[in-house]
Amino acid sequence: MNRQVIIATKNKGKVNEFEALFASLDVEILTLLDMDDAPDVEETGTSFEENATIKAEAISKMSGKIVIADDSGLVIDELDGRPGIFSARYAGENKNDEANIDKVLLEMKEVPEEKRTARFFCALAISGPNMKTAVVTGKCEGKILNERRGTNGFGYDPIFYVIEAGKSMADLSSDEKNKISHRASAMNNMKPVIEELF
């Protein structure tokens, strides 16, 4: 089968979500974990969309295959959109989820309930030989909690209250999260693009 799509990630949680999306299509999913020589692409863009595009195009150029890359993060209104594209390394270069959460909680300590609005945002870029890169986005609206709640998920999930679900992202089961998350929303928007390709 030559109908392969590379998902530009080493995150197994993300891979599982993509595999569910592709279940109805006759497509083989590969990831950066399947590539010995996958470059560590520097994300130099100023937006989620730019970073996803940079990553997708770089891996596609190197592999000659269709590639989907995502860039996602937490956008807090009261913090002028931070942590935004720096979500993974907000507290420092070492990608520490707990330190990132602590930094957000500290910065939001005095902020009243009605001003704690935020959203998770995801941009997906799909790139391949002889095709124009396409970008779709998705988001999930919520609020920043005063403390951690729940034990599922990763990243900022324990302090993100999902308005639609009435609980924190970390209190949702994987199935619940995959229905309403920012990545699920972006993937739904990506489906028509993929169906056209295959």
Q: What is the arithmetic mean of pLDDT over 13-18?
A: 78
Question: Which of 33-37, 74-78, 110-114 shows the lowest per-residue confidence on average (mean pLDDT)?
Answer: 33-37
Sign of CA dihedral 156, 157, 158, 163: positive
> Is residue 13 scored above 90 in pLDDT?
no
What pLDDT was estimated at residue 20? Answer: 75
Would you call 80 a catalytic residue per the annotation? no
Domain count, the chain: 1
**DSSP string computed for 69-128:** EEEEEEEEGGGTT-BGGGGGGTT-TT--HHHHHHHHHHHTTT--GGG-EEEEEEEEEEE-
Question: Which of 56-60, 91-95, 116-120, 142-146 shows the lowest per-residue confidence on average (mean pLDDT)?
Answer: 91-95
> Is residue 110 scored above 70 in pLDDT?
yes
pLDDT in tens, 180-196: 999 889 988 998 888 88
Tell me, what CATH number does 179's domain have? Answer: 3.90.950.10
What is the rounded end-to-end Cα distance, in angstroms, of the chain? 12
pLDDT in tens, 20-38: 777 777 788 899 988 877 7
What pLDDT was estimated at residue 122? Answer: 96
> Is residue 129 scored above 60 in pLDDT?
yes
Q: Report how far residue 72's alpha carbon sits from residue 100's, in angstroms, rounded to the nearest whole number.
A: 15
pLDDT in tens, 132-163: 999 999 999 999 999 999 999 889 999 999 99
Q: What is the arithmetic mean of pLDDT over 38-54?
A: 91
Place of tokens 């993509």: 18
What pLDDT was estimated at residue 83? Answer: 98
Residue 88's CB is within 10 A of a number of other CB atoms, namely 19
Among the listed residues 71, 77, 97, 102, the single catalytic one is: 71
CA dihedral 190, 194, 196, 198 (to 10 degrees): -170
- Record the tokens describing residue 146, joined without a space: 């005063």
Q: What is the DSSP secondary structure assignment for residue 6, as one 8-state letter?
A: E
Domain of residue 113 covers 4-197
Q: Rounded to two decimals, what is the model's pTM?
A: 0.90
> Is residue 1 scored above 50 in pLDDT?
no
pLDDT averaged over the chain? 91
